[in-house]
Every structure is written in C-alpha cells, then in structure tokens.
Structure 1
Amino acid sequence: MPIRFTQSCPTCGRRVQIRASLIGYTVACQHCNAEFVAEASIDDGSGTTDSPIGVEKIAVDPLMARVEEALQRAAKERTAVN
C-alpha cells in the first residue's frame, strides 16, 4: 500500500490525498483540476502546516524507514564509484 499524505489545493483549498512518491512533482487537484507541486508538511494540529518534509518523515513504518536508508546508501555508493 503506497504511503500518502494530504495537502490543501492552493486554488480551491480542499484537501487532496497525494502519494508520497510524488513529492516534488506537479499534481492535479481531483476537485478543481488545478495543478500544483506536491509538498509534504508537518501538521502539528494547530491548523498550520509548516516545515516541508521528505518521504523519510512520512514513512513511520520501521521496515519502510530501513528500506529508504538502504536505498539512500546505495545511491551514495553508486555516486562514489562514478
């Protein structure tokens, strides 16, 4: 099951569920079809959503966090070899 987060559409203001793998990409609102860049934010319950975060903060499943770390290590090693 893909990891998802919600973001408010900058045009209509409605909440849109977005797959975490689309962070940084242009997505379209399902309600008004407006396009915007997906940016995950921390919602502290105060009604404000600040501090953009990456997928590693969204993935709270320990196994998924380990997979993400392994992928990052592999990418660094691949870069170091080249």
Structure 2
Amino acid sequence: MPSGAYFIRSCPTCGRSLEIRVEYFGKRVSCKHCSAEFDTIDAPQDSLGASDSSLSLLARAEELIESVKIGSVA
C-alpha cells in the first residue's frame, strides 16, 4: 500500500475530521485532538444521512408502540 494514502474519519468523541493512513484501517487509533481511542473499522456516525437514520428510528419506534398496543388489548 502506498504510505501517502489516507481516509477521512471524524472522531466519535470530539467530531473533528482526521486523516488516517489506510494501513491503520481496522485498527484502534487515538484522536490527535482529544486523545479518545476508537476503532477505524466502525462506520462513521454520519455515514447515513440524518434524515434516513431518523426516519428508520421513527419507523422502528412506531412498530414497537403498535406491538405493545396490540399486546395490551388481547
């Protein structure tokens, strides 16, 4: 692998963008700004659009609420 290849990942703790060498992909690294440690294989939190993840979460919440309503009626 070329030593000058990087990927961009935001720190899950402080949110700052980090350039991480590709050879560290899949390994545990620490943020140079806040020193938080995280695994580089985890998908960034913003990999889904905020609206997509919010809609998915709301749809799942509605399913759970409906299942509780159905269970309490029976």
1:25-45 C-alpha deviation (Å, 9 max, x unpaired): 00010100000011386xxxx
1:49 match = 47
* TM-score normalized with structure 1 length: 0.47
Q: Which protein has the larger Cα radius of gyration, Structure 1 or Structure 2?
A: 2
The alignment's C-alpha RMSD in Å is 1.9
Q: Any runs of at least 4 consecutive aligned residues in structure 1 with deviations exceeding 6 A, and if so which?
A: none
Unaligned 5+ runs, structure 1: 42-47, 51-82
The structure with the greater share of residues assigned to strand is 1
Question: Which of these residues, 20, 25, 31, is aligned with residue 22 of structure 2?
Answer: 20
Q: Give the equivalent residue in structure 1 for 2:59.
A: none
Q: TM-score, normalised by structure 2?
A: 0.51
Deviation per residue, 1:17-71 (Å, 9 max, x gap): 1001100000010100000011386xxxxxx425xxxxxxxxxxxxxxxxxxxxx
Structure 2 stretches of 5 or more lacking a match? 49-74
Same amino acid, percent of matched pairs: 41
